[in-house]
Amino acid sequence: MSFSVKFWGVRGSLPSAPSPTAWTYHIEGVLRNFFSMGYRDSSQVTKYIQSLEEPILGGYGSATTCVELNHGNSQIIIDGGSGIRSLSERIMSGTAGRVKGPFHIFMTHFHWDHVIGLPFFTPHFIPGNEIHYYAVQPELEQLIRGVFKKPYFPVPFESLKAKVIFHVLEPRKPIKVGDFTVTPYQLDHPDPCWGFRVEAAGKSYAHCVDTEGTRVTQEELGPDLPLYKNADLMYFDAQYTLPELAEKANWGHSAAQVGLEIAFRENIKRVLFAHHDPGARTDHVLELRRQTKEYYDAVSKAAESNQEKLPPIQWDFAHEGLEVTL
Ligand SMILES: [Zn+2]
Ligand SMILES: [Zn+2]
């Protein structure tokens, strides 16, 4: 049985797709690249497309945070950003065999970008379904009810056909959901936001979005350090460049370099960076990736010259639809 993690939405703050002008500019680049790589006719298009990384062709996606974790018959969902609409479509298509649920949705916090998709999660409207919500925030029930409220949404919470059950979590106390053990740890965000360490079959996933990463050292992290320790995969907030991070202190988002520092020290094997800025087009995220590589190489080289061997970290910037197996 494998532990898989699928990213249905990786953007931050607001769903944001390229404008028609930006798409036109992008397509022009893709076409120019086709010819500059020596391809000449339409029979070579598939080969060309297969030679490119998916985000270079299709971008990083427009939907906001929603992550699905599966292990055997166990499933949990983290956050209900606009990405949950596509997950809902997949569920309703029946191809994943889970139309009836129950569904388990863990909420990090309640900023718009993490709740905006919830009314579009169709299982809410199916009689006989059970939907469980989990969060540390004691106002969980009131906050979810508020999402299904006129005039913001036409169907009030009281009219939902599914049975909705709320579970207020204790900070740093594990809870079992099917095969998964989920433990909430606090992140660094202006409104309280809780990351989750999810474990199954000896593998671990650390969900660290949204966070500014203002506490970096082990002493500063204190009781929240176990979120990161030896994680097989960390999903980390990298909305900003390092200079932007300095300008946007207390905005609650971080930079990839901060995540790498934690990953090196805590022996994290793989890192995916996300919460891409709504204004960040493909070129911008690729530039963040370039800067991150520069940083990663410099740190590794510095360690080598000190006769230290840093553990290699597999890292990248996440794109919508990415699925990884731990
Ligand atoms: Zn966010
Ligand atoms: Zn937030």
Tell me the per-residue pLDDT of 132-167, one tens digit each, with 9 for 90 and over.
Answer: 999 999 999 999 999 999 999 999 999 999 999 999
Nearest-ligand number for the alpha carbon of 190: 2
CA distances from 244 to 135, 249, 277 (A): 30, 9, 11
The answer to whether 18 and 26 have CB atoms below 8 angstroms apart is yes
Residue 183 Cα, ligand 1 centroid: separation in angstroms? 20
Nearest-ligand number for the alpha carbon of 83: 1
The larger pLDDT score, comparing residue 113 to residue 96, is at 113
At residue 205, the pLDDT reads 98
Cα 180-182-187 angle, rounded to 5 deg: 150
The answer to whether 207 and 195 have CB atoms below 8 angstroms apart is yes
Residue 162 Cα, ligand 2 centroid: separation in angstroms? 27
Question: What's the CA gap between 107 and 117, in Å, rounded?
Answer: 12
Residue 113 Cα, ligand 2 centroid: separation in angstroms? 7
Question: What's the CA gap between 48 and 32, in Å, rounded?
Answer: 12
Backbone angles phi, psi at 280, to 5 degrees: -85, 110
Question: What's the CA gap between 104 and 98, in Å, rounded?
Answer: 12
Contact partners, residue 35, CB within 8 Å, separation at least 6: none
The Cβ of residue 165 has, within 10 Å, a number of other Cβ atoms equal to 13
- Per-residue model confidence as pLDDT tens digits over 225-249: 999 999 999 999 999 999 999 999 9
Contact partners, residue 81, CB within 8 Å, separation at least 6: 9, 11, 15, 63, 64, 65, 66, 113, 114, 115, 116, 117
Average pLDDT over the chain reads: 95
- Per-residue model confidence as pLDDT tens digits over 241-271: 999 999 999 999 999 999 999 999 999 999 9
At residue 100, the pLDDT reads 75
Q: How confident is the model at residue 37 (pLDDT cuts 50, 70, 90)?
A: very high
Nearest-ligand number for the alpha carbon of 274: 1
Radius of gyration from C-alpha coordinates of the chain: 20
Task: Please say if the pLDDT value at position 130 is more than 70.
Answer: yes
Residues with a beta carbon under 5 angstroms from ion ligand 1: 12, 113, 210
Mean pLDDT of 127-136: 96
At residue 311, the pLDDT reads 86
Q: How confident is the model at residue 97 (pLDDT cuts 50, 70, 90)?
A: low
Residue 34 Cα, ligand 1 centroid: separation in angstroms? 36
**Which residue matches tokens 């494998």?**
2
* Residues comprising the chain, all counted: 326
The larger pLDDT score, comparing residue 78 to residue 94, is at 78
- Per-residue model confidence as pLDDT tens digits over 281-314: 999 999 999 999 999 999 999 998 998 888 899 9
Nearest-ligand number for the alpha carbon of 80: 1
Task: Please say if the pLDDT value at position 318 is more than 90.
Answer: yes
CA distances from 260 to 240, 249, 256, 268 (A): 14, 19, 6, 9
Q: Which of 85, 83, 77 is nearest to 63 (CA)?
A: 83
Structure-derived torsion over alpha carbons of residues 153, 162, 13, 242, reported in degrees to the nearest 10: 170
Domain 3-17+61-325 has CATH 3.60.15.10: yes
Residue 70 Cα, ligand 1 centroid: separation in angstroms? 23
Residue 274 Cα, ligand 2 centroid: separation in angstroms? 13
Helix (H) or strand (E) holding 274: strand 270-274
At residue 1, the pLDDT reads 83
CA 94 to chain centre: 24
At residue 82, the pLDDT reads 98
Task: Identify the burial level of 271 via C-beta atoms within 10 angstroms of its C-beta, where 0-12 means exposed, 13-18 middle and 19 or more buried.
Answer: buried
Residue 217 Cα, ligand 2 centroid: separation in angstroms? 22
The answer to whether 304 and 312 have CB atoms below 8 angstroms apart is no
- Per-residue model confidence as pLDDT tens digits over 173-227: 999 999 999 999 999 999 999 999 999 999 999 999 999 999 989 999 999 999 9
